[in-house]
Amino acid sequence: MAFDATQQPVSNRGVPPDSFLDELVAWGKIAPDEIFAPNSNKDVYSNVVGVLGPWEDLRHRRAVMLEVMRVLAGFESSWDWNAGVDVTNATSVTPDTIEAGAWQVSANSMHFGEELKTLVLTKVGSLDGNDFQRAMKTDHPLAMEYVARLLRRTVNHHGPVKRHEIDPWLCEDAVAEFRALLDA
């Protein structure tokens, strides 16, 4: 795939590798519609509506999620699938609180929703923190689905989203490009 607007720099993290964007788009094409459907939670969509909204349709919402995930992964790990513990977080000391993967999620985030636990249990076979960390680093489709579902529950697990730090880096042109790539 050819990327242009989705190659926009993110803060001081650089630009995402094509391989990361390839996986993101591939997942976006097959992800369940329910992940992107409106809900009543104060979630990622209500958090970024002032930057990327209003929402036109489910396809637009899907592309917006990919754009948020692109920027957030830049902030959290510089798009590193194998990123581990955040050494600046004093609470990252147990298998359940240690962050893992491109979006730096930790196993304790499963408390935000039963569907998160069910997803992990189904795909990983365990809710153990060490197993969770390994899966977030190695099972990229699971990591993408997990972070998208988590962002639909709450923005409180990801400080850069909660505090609107990602907002200046979100790009409407990237959303339009993601829409075109999803339709390709």
Q: pLDDT tens-digit profile of 78-87?
A: 999 999 877 7
Kindly state whether residue 18 falls inside one of the protein's structural domains. no
Residue 10: name the closest of 63, 84, 104, 78 by CA: 78
Helix (H, G, I), strand (E, B) or coil at 93: coil
Average pLDDT of the residues in 51-79: 97
**pLDDT given for residue 167 in this prediction:** 98
Q: What is the average pLDDT score of the chain? A: 95
**pLDDT given for residue 88 in this prediction:** 77
Taking the CA atoms of 69, 71, 75 and 79 in sequence, report the sign of the dihedral they define: positive
Whether the Cβ atoms of residue 151 and residue 161 lie closer than 8 Å to each other: yes
Kindly state whether residue 88 falls inside one of the protein's structural domains. yes
Kindly state whether residue 102 falls inside one of the protein's structural domains. yes
| Residue span of the structural domain in which 128 resides | 27-183
Kindly state whether residue 158 falls inside one of the protein's structural domains. yes
10 Å Cβ neighbour count for 12? 8
Kindly state whether residue 171 falls inside one of the protein's structural domains. yes
What's the number of domains the chain is made of? 1
Whether the Cβ atoms of residue 119 and residue 105 lie closer than 8 Å to each other: no
Kindly state whether residue 141 falls inside one of the protein's structural domains. yes
Residue 94 has pLDDT above 90, yes or no: no
Kindly state whether residue 8 falls inside one of the protein's structural domains. no
**pLDDT given for residue 92 in this prediction:** 73
Kindly state whether residue 13 falls inside one of the protein's structural domains. no
**pLDDT given for residue 93 in this prediction:** 73
